[in-house]
Structure 1
């Protein structure tokens, strides 16, 4: 798996006895809500799947409930600016943390596009499959099949969420967007029917913590990072900024569309983070 390694990960801070108590209480509450609701979701899918087939008019509300509850349990403040689009299409956002899944699901009913290895992660993979995540393999031989899956989901009215950076960062920057994933919107006439909405996700660390507190990248293990977030007495906040959606056919190619989304999302991140993100730009060879 390719990960961003532009900055060294901070050393894991120790968790004191009180922190373990807080982490245990929050973890128990979050686990109860998540897996308790999952049981209801799976039971509902037994009715929903044969009646509505590819459409899921009911179960996404349960996923949204869990994600909203997670912020209450963790104590992370949550603010939304703008509105999710009503047009058919997809969401593209910057990727900073495993928290992005909760963040973007809490304010809208969406389905994520994720690399296929996530499907094999203990616990998380099971949740991702149950909630309708689309898994993609980094294998050119499967490109055509994956294209068909994207098209089918988009035509079914599913609002897919893409992370065009291809990996997560420390939350202080936006990495170059890979135009490859945007190709799904330029096939079989989808470009004349679909819109793309750029979304900026901005994390603000708890008072006294370094700015990258919620970032998850490189070789950082999920378990310790998850525990650190659970154990924090004082939590920070997250902003979700919905930008104006754009028609796919307003851009002559996937590269122009990817560039517009990248610049829009980066500008909002830098405006919110100020000096912490000022001048932080990633460069590299443009993806095909």
Structure 2
């Protein structure tokens, strides 16, 4: 994975909030918290039954996750537009990474399991949700690469749709960084490659009118709390567009580097051309 992406200038934070701002924070945040953590409790209870019966398979609880994530955009007032649809059959998913909102945008329309850096497991709120929903946590350690590939293969063989962020870091959402090819190696396993597809997905965030174009971007050393507060307090909201590109079959598409390059090109094609700016890693 790459180092955390940085930029020279950050968008403004929430600033000093007035009474109306705090009203919006409560009006949006309270129902959102009830839905997220209420359904999290229900999910954990159902896992007590689902786990011993189905093992790795999760036929019920992902639907709770999808309900929570689609409801989040309604409660926040962010319009979610979907172009295309998730591919059927055994598949992995790769996407650009722009915000913590990606988790909700990608889970709302498909039952996926994220692959995330290990430190996310310890984040308050997000870490709890990630563990409960079956996220695969990995360390940035080459010594663990073989074990990680074996874990990915086991989950993919269990029909889990693993979702990777091959950029290895989040950005401001207005560009796509070069994809790291290392994690694509797991897709080339002899037991997988003939039946596995990789679906590229592009996330396009559009800021509320009159705000910084990177309003929803969350990257570098930005704190989660102020970023969430800014979104909750916003007088107007923008939108997110989720673009499902045609799936790329693993068989016949070369090695991990050519697979990564093709998926990167597909994801990049979903961004408006005027958004692409020189990447700074």
Q: Which range, TM-score by smaller chain?
A: over 0.9
Equivalence for 2:92: 90
> Is the 1:26–1:73 Cα contact (8 Å) retained in structure 2?
yes
What is the match of residue 52 of structure 1? 54
Residue of structure 1 in register with 2:279 after alignment: 282
**1:110-140: CA deviations, max 9, x gaps?**
1111000000112221111111001011011
Q: 1:236 maps to which residue?
A: 238
From 206, 216, 219, the equivalent of 2:218 is 216
Q: CA deviation at 1:21?
A: 1.6
Instruction: Name the residue aligned to 1:107.
Output: 109
Paired with 1:127 and 1:241, the residues of 2 have a C-alpha distance of 24
| Separation in structure 1 between the aligned mates of residue 256 and residue 278 of structure 2, nearest angstrom | 21
**Post-superposition shift, 1:283?**
7.5
The verdict on how the C-alpha distance between 1:191 and 1:7 changes in structure 2, with shifts beyond 3 A counting, is farther
- How far residue 281 of structure 1 moved from its aligned partner, in angstroms, is 3.9
1:9 aligns with 2:10: yes
1:188 aligns with 2:195: no
- Name the count of aligned residue pairs: 279
For residues 98 and 111 of structure 1, the distance between their equivalents in structure 2, rounded to whole angstroms, comes to: 15
Deviates more, 1:182-191 or 1:72-81: 182-191
Q: Which runs of 5+ in 2 are unaligned?
A: none
2:266 aligned residue = 264
Match of 1:127 in 2: 129
Counterpart of 2:168? Answer: 166
Q: Give TM-score, length-normalised by structure 2.
A: 0.96
1:39 maps to 41
Runs of 4+ in 1 over 4 A off after TM superposition: none
Question: How far is the alpha carbon of 1:49 from its aligned partner?
Answer: 0.4
1:23 maps onto 2:17 in alignment: no
Distance (Å, rounded) in 2 between the aligned partners of 1:254 and 1:146: 16
1:78–1:239 Cα contact (<8 Å) kept: yes
Gaps of 5+ in 1: none
State the shift of 1:191 in Å.
Answer: 1.4
TM-score by length of 1: 0.94
CA contact (8 A) 1:195 1:245 kept: yes
Distance in 2 (alpha carbons) for counterparts of 1:171 and 1:40: 33
Q: What SS class does the counterpart of residue 97 from structure 1 fall into? A: coil
Q: After TM superposition, give the deviation of residue 189 of structure 1 in Å.
A: 3.1
- 1:235-277 deviations in Å (ceiling 9; x for gaps): 001100100001111211111111111111111112xxx53x1
